[in-house]
């Protein structure tokens, strides 16, 4: 176990989570560890340089933890099949080191590629709650960049609403804002949002780089839904598909200087406490 990897897992395990709070640890790209009172949930961990076709992706920074060192995962939530969200080279070692972990992913993700036994996997049914590590989780559709639905197998892209220890978190995975998303999210009083800000444009689309919400859209969503804390994702890891998070901060401040945000760095703990009303 490397000191860098070991220190992150140990810090996650040692964190004492009080009522009405959660700990968030950045993994880069869209990845995050959510630490609650009963354990840890990993969302979209991408902890290698695997490009999915036998080659390597250039990373702007090394993985903050070795997946083989992750011994504390109660569950892993995967949003979609793209390699920076669904990486068999991350998930296989993680499954071996966290023997009790269960894995949740849309039908497009073949978890057998990571050597994970079928009894440890589940395709979440949209709008049906399930329990992971003490958290209540609801899958909702994401659109990257359009809604893709198979009537027999479900949606290809998922986001997750996680209710845990008095805190409600929405992690969109990769998505754009589509008709109906705001109304769906209004079903919850959301405290913390994780959403991508790298955006989309003609030239990246021409390179088969699938787009996401941009920084303006995420700021507007936070203002429209009165989100207490917005944490942007998908801006830091893989060139040329990054974004300057200062643009998000500047636009959000111009829109509402009292709207809270946090730029979660790889390996960093952000401890969120919900204030009494």
Asked if residues 43 and 142 have their Cβ atoms less than 8 Å apart, the reply is no
Give residue-wise pLDDT tens across range 262-276.
999 999 999 999 987
Asked if residues 87 and 115 have their Cβ atoms less than 8 Å apart, the reply is no
- pLDDT score, position 203: 77
Pick from 230, 217, 225, 215: nearest CA to 264: 230
Give residue-wise pLDDT tens across range 44-99.
999 999 999 999 999 999 999 999 999 999 999 999 999 999 999 999 999 999 99
Instruction: pLDDT band for 1, please (50, 70, 90 cuts).
Output: very low
175 has a pLDDT exceeding 80: yes
Asked if residues 106 and 158 have their Cβ atoms less than 8 Å apart, the reply is yes
Asked if residues 264 and 26 have their Cβ atoms less than 8 Å apart, the reply is yes
Percent of the chain with pLDDT over 70: 96
**All residues at 6 or more sequence positions from 204 whose CB lies less than 8 Å from its CB, including other chains:** 211, 240, 241
Question: Tokens at residue 224, please?
Answer: 């429209």
- In angstroms, the CA 129 to CA 224 distance is 25
Domains of the chain: 3-273 (3.60.15.10)
Per-residue pLDDT, averaged over 112-129, amounts to 97
201 has a pLDDT exceeding 80: no
Pick from 2, 128, 21: nearest CA to 63: 2
Give residue-wise pLDDT tens across range 94-103.
999 999 999 9
- In angstroms, the CA 228 to CA 163 distance is 15
pTM of the model: 0.95
Per-residue pLDDT, averaged over 104-127, amounts to 98
What SS3 class is residue 236? coil
5 has a pLDDT exceeding 70: no
- In angstroms, the CA 28 to CA 24 distance is 12
């Amino acid at each position: 176990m490397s000191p860098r990897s070991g220190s992150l897992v140990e810090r996650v395990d040692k964190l004492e989570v009080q009522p009405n709070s959660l700990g968030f640890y950045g993994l880069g790209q869209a990845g995050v560890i959510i630490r609650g009172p009963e354990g840890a949930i990993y969302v979209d961990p991408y902890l290698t340089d695997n490009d999915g076709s036998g080659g390597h992706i250039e990373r702007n920074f090394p993985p903050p933890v070795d997946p083989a060192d992750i011994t504390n995962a109660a569950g892993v939530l995967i949003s979609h099949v793209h390699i920076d969200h669904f990486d068999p080279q991350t998930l296989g070692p993680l499954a071996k080191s966290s023997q009790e972990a269960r894995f949740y992913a849309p039908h497009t993700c073949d978890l057998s590629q990571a050597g994970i036994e079928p009894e440890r996997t589940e395709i979440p049914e949209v709008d049906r709650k399930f329990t992971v590590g003490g958290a209540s989780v609801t899958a909702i559709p994401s659109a990257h960049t359009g809604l893709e639905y198979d009537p027999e197998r479900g949606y290809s892209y998922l986001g997750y609403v996680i209710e845990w220890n008095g805190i409600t978190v929405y992690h969109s995975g990769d998505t754009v804002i589509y008709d109906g998303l705001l109304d769906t999210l209004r079903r919850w009083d959301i405290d913390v949002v994780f959403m991508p800000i790298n955006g989309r444009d003609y030239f990246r689309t021409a390179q088969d780089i699938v787009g996401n919400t941009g920084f303006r859209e995420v700021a507007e969503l936070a203002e429209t839904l009165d989100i207490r804390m917005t944490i942007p994702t998908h801006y830091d890891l893989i060139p040329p598909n990054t974004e300057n998070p200062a643009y998000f901060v500047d636009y959000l401040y111009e829109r509402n200087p009292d709207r809270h945000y946090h730029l979660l760095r790889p390996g960093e703990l952000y401890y969120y406490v919900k204030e009494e009303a």
